[in-house]
Amino acid sequence: MSLSRRASQSRPSLSRRNLLTAGAAGALAASSLAVPSARAATRRGAKPVRDPFTLGVASGDPLPHGVVLWTRLAPEPLAADGLGGMPDRSVPVQWQVAEDEHFRRIVAEGVETAGTEGAHAVHAEANGLRPGADYFYRFRAAGELSPVGRTRTAPAPGTRVDRFAFAFASCQNYPAGYYTAHRHLAEEDLDLVAFLGDYIYEGPAQGEIGRGHLPATETWSLADYRIRHAQHKTDADLRAAHAAFPWVPVFDDHEVENNWADDDSDSGTDPEVFLRRRARAFRSYYEHMPLRRSQRPVGPDVQMFRRLTFGHLLDLHVLDTRQYRSDQVEDVDRKDPSRTILGSRQKEWLLGNLAGPTAQWNVLAQQVFFSQRDFVTGAATEFSNDAWDGYYVEREQVRDRLAAPATTNPVIITGDVHASYVNDVKADFDDPSSATVATELVGTSISSGGDGVENWPGDATQYEENPHIRFINRRRGYVRNVVTPTEWTAENRVVDYVTSPGAPVRTRAKWVVEDGRPGARQA
């Protein structure tokens, strides 16, 4: 099936208001949602549940015939025990998928059990859907109807796709700013959103705009992480962005602890103690994300790297650059060939994928800066040991595979650094005249770093020391991408302030990567 431009323009609409309200209530009488009501629960002596859908709905990881549907029952989302105000019992949650916003043409439905052990989260895997098609979905529990979400399945493998539109974003520090960028993101015409890490921040920061972290301490317990995640989803703009499109999420460091690496805590915590913390963080992350059951953590371990394919047009290789990496080191050790940022199993998986067969465009969706980035401080040249520069040999191996003929049109999308960059990935970063073998698009933050600046004085030195860096901007926002068989168009969509609500969005720069020609040119 072809996702043509015409098809995109005729995509069923779902108003922002309906994304944030129950919507489609008039169709309820005709539906088959028959979950026991609050009145029936009261008759049985159980405490009724009121307004359980405060955290909204979401969908994720679309396949050609199915998609994950998510919600979490939490009538009191910030309750101190982290259980969202739910009673200590299991609750049946019914879900529906329809071809229309009013749920007259229901194509899939089922019941999931939301229990205390999983913080009453629901991960329903809806199957039997048509490839490359739009759908609407909703939940019902305890007599209450959820907001309506919209989702889209992936086109079938190998089919021609004329247009695929997606955005990527990262780094949404709650006390640092409002999620205005998410409000604008929800209004875009997209097939998908990739979120590349730092969905929450683990620290105790309170900020200066009245959005202080809860709890007001660093997250450590399972309840702490659950409250922190729930607090983020009390933001209406974030809920709207989740309800508008399927998401492909992956974590970076702040979902657990700043700059962690494998079982090494940046704060020096004993590895066994840190792994228990990591297990709690992963568990809460899963409870709040539209992830498949195959991504359910087992203690401190979870497999997040995965490949999603969208027809013959695009392969999305989602990487995990935290869980298997060697610890950060200083400059003298960074070229040690034993160092890894991917781990042996993930690296073998990635290099095998890129060896083919592949789609026309090959995307590495990952967390930290891939291209070389030298910083000059006085007479010294420094590097970021948390980025791929600290894993020099493995970065060269991946780059060389991207340069191979079997890997067509490689594009790397990156988060983490709270700034927009556009980089030419060079065959030799120390030789500006060497071939450009891929393009790296680095997205800015949703709110981390506050309002940001248009031009930072230190950026002039970065350009000088790193001629492969084509663009830097430090406003907040996201990157919108439209991919066709002939070109990839990327727009840096920015808001000028986040410390107060209501900023308009604008396109700060627009870039084009042509089919068969690595490197971006400004449009």
**Strand 246-249, strand 192-195: pairing:** parallel
Exposure b/e, 287-310, CB count within 10 A at least 16 = b:
bbbbbbeebebeebebebbbebbb
Residue labelled with tokens 């709040």 = 288
Query: Residue 377: its pLDDT value, please?
Result: 78
Query: Residue 81: its pLDDT value, please?
Result: 97
CA–CA separation, 403 and 395 (whole Å): 12
Whats the size of the chain, residue-wise? 523
Query: Residue 255: its pLDDT value, please?
Result: 98
Query: Residue 49: its pLDDT value, please?
Result: 73
**Strand 436-442, strand 420-426: pairing:** antiparallel
Rg of the chain taking only CA atoms, in angstroms? 23
CA–CA separation, 12 and 15 (whole Å): 10
**Strand 106-114, strand 517-522: pairing:** unpaired
CB-facing half-sphere around the CA of 456: CA atoms within 13 A: 18
Residue labelled with tokens 């030799």 = 428
Nearest to 386 by CA among 322, 332, 304: 322
Amino acid letter at 351? L
3 state SS of 292: coil
Query: Residue 362: its pLDDT value, please?
Result: 98
CB-facing half-sphere around the CA of 203: CA atoms within 13 A: 15
Residue labelled with tokens 């199957």 = 127
- pLDDT under 50 in the chain at which residues? 1-10, 16-32, 34-45
Q: How many CB atoms within 10 Å of residue 420?
A: 26
Query: Residue 14: its pLDDT value, please?
Result: 56
**Strand 121-126, strand 66-72: pairing:** antiparallel
135 - beta bridge partners? 151
CB-facing half-sphere around the CA of 141: CA atoms within 13 A: 29
Please enumerate in sequence order all residues whose Cβ is within 8 A of that of 304, keeping only pairs 6 or more positions apart, or say none.
Answer: 250, 251, 295, 318, 320, 323
* 92, 111 contact by CB (below 8 A): yes
| pTM for this entry | 0.93
* 162, 312 contact by CB (below 8 A): no
Q: Is the preceding omega at residue 357 within 30 degrees of 0, hence cis? A: yes
Homologous superfamily (CATH) for 319-475? Alkaline phosphatase D (PhoD) (3.60.21.70)
Q: How many CB atoms within 10 Å of residue 434?
A: 13
For residue 225, the 8-state DSSP code is: H
